[in-house]
Structure 1
């Protein structure tokens, strides 16, 4: 009876997650199925179906695809999923995820961390769990959902410069880091994802003030994004954007070429993890 009260109280306008649950329940009931029956069809428990319907658990891509197929929703839940997951990001970061989704080109510079758009699940989980382990699996799923922009027909071009420290700092243990470095190498032949390393030997460089991202659009002004602890600072101030665009040009000039960057990643994998070929 308590589940029924929770379901009846669900407000589809409260959040994207509530709307997803409302639509799931509506289509399930239209199909004449109980939560348990639908769960059996899609190979999940009826309890999990109920938790998703009452906005107590995040749906996954696999769950959405299976339920769409089972209920004949025409892909509705899968289309809603991106909005649901983006809404679960910290409030101060949601605007950044929207910028990532709209940008035609993203230029990012990080001194000590692989950018979230290129993180593996193990690496992202280790980073997110550094100070807070609550809901870690869900928070990891939400972060990785941002990478769906690369599956779009008009996906953005990504230019990513990492300081060498980001490749040598062991995040999550040897296996997690080995997998992360191998993942970076998987983009070697992808012209839309370009990875360069700023080596230690570069010395003084234009990015010493810290990491930043530049978002470029077809018709809108470019936006600069910098980040602090628990805060983000996007700005379209033309002078600030121009300054950091110039800094990025200098960072690209100081960084290793894409080919030499890939070789350095392979060298680090061999040196630190005994792997002789970074790409399977």
Structure 2
């Protein structure tokens, strides 16, 4: 604790950042209660860095997500989540229920704070029938309904748009209000892990890729096949 406080002082860190670093140091020493999400993610097989993402999402001003394979977690209905967990090797029903509870708290935390959300989903992810036709229709109907709500924009990368620059997994970009003093944050997920970064060069690369993805995608209510898929 003393070392952390000394380093923050020597570097001239703002008081809010110093307090956050001190809190993290206390948590590392087991002196404070764990965050709400820690009891859920322990032993549930989440990729490294996901806990950092959960910590930062509630204080974000804007959340931008590109999801090439599945509907992203912040938009999944419980039935869709359970269908994904059903095919996860070695995942018990108890752990699956905990993951659904975690996603519900995560979603509520974002919605309750009025955070701006922009999500781009590939056409392939929209067409994938996770949980069967009924769950599929319910999930798509939920997406269309959310797009009409304030602060939520859902877009589609059509298969006719060709290859995308989004990599092989979900990408999430966070930006924060000035008063939070947080730099932009990027989370990119792959099969065996995730990368988290605040480095300016990496953020610039993510921003460039995001600009291409967003510009070549269309709003979900203007994506012609959606009416057929959600019917």
TM-score (norm 1): 0.62
Structure 1, residues 199-222: CA drift from partner, whole Å, max 9, x if none?
Answer: 000013322554311110113210
Q: Choose which of 72, 78, 91 in structure 2 pairs with 1:115.
A: 72
Name whichever of 159-168 and 176-185 sits farther off.
176-185
Alpha-carbon offset, residue 144 of structure 1: 2.0
1:209-228 to structure 2, matched below 5 A, reads: 209-219=168-178, 220-228=182-190
After superposition, where does 1:46-195 map in structure 2 within 5 Å?
Answer: 83-85=35-37, 87-90=39-42, 92=48, 93-131=50-88, 132-134=90-92, 135=94, 136-152=96-112, 154-195=113-154
Supply the distance in 2 between the matched residues of 1:125 and 1:13 (Cα, whole angstroms).
35
Moved over 4 A (4+): 12-16
SS of residue in 2 equivalent to 1:162: strand
Alpha-carbon distance between aligned partners in 1 of 2:85 and 2:114, rounded to the nearest angstrom:
26
CA contact (8 A) 2:58 2:110 kept: no
Change (3 A) 1:98 1:85: closer
Q: Deviations over 1:160-184 (max 9, x none)?
A: 0001011111111111111111111
Residue ranges of structure 1 left out of the alignment (5+ in a row):
1-11, 17-82, 270-274, 276-280
Distance across 1 between alignment mates of 2:99 and 2:206: 30
Point out which structure has higher relative CO (alpha carbons under 8 A, 6+ apart): 2
Structure 2: distance between partners of 1:171 and 1:144: 18
Is the alpha carbon distance of 1:181 and 1:236 closer, same or farther for their aligned partners in structure 2, counting shifts above 3 Å? Answer: same
Instruction: Check 1:104–1:147 CA distance in 2 against 1; reply closer, same or farther (3 A cut).
Output: same
SS of the counterpart of 2:213?
Answer: helix
Verify: 1:203 aligned to 2:162, yes or no.
yes
Alpha-carbon deviation of 1:13? 6.8
Deviations 1:79-99 (Å, cap 9, x if unpaired)?
A: xxxx43454125732111112
What is the aligned partner in structure 2 of residue 23 from structure 1? none
SS of the aligned residue for 2:146 comes to coil
Q: Is the 8 A contact 2:72 2:170 kept in 1?
A: no
Q: Distance in 2 between matches of 1:216 and 1:117?
A: 16
Residue 221 (structure 2) aligns with: 259
Is the alpha carbon distance of 1:209 and 1:231 closer, same or farther for their aligned partners in structure 2, counting shifts above 3 Å? closer
Q: Distance in 1 between matches of 2:107 and 2:97?
A: 16
> 1:225, CA displacement in angstroms?
0.6
Give the number of the structure whose alpha-carbon radius of gyration is greater: 1
Which 5+ residue runs of structure 2 have no aligned equivalent? 1-29
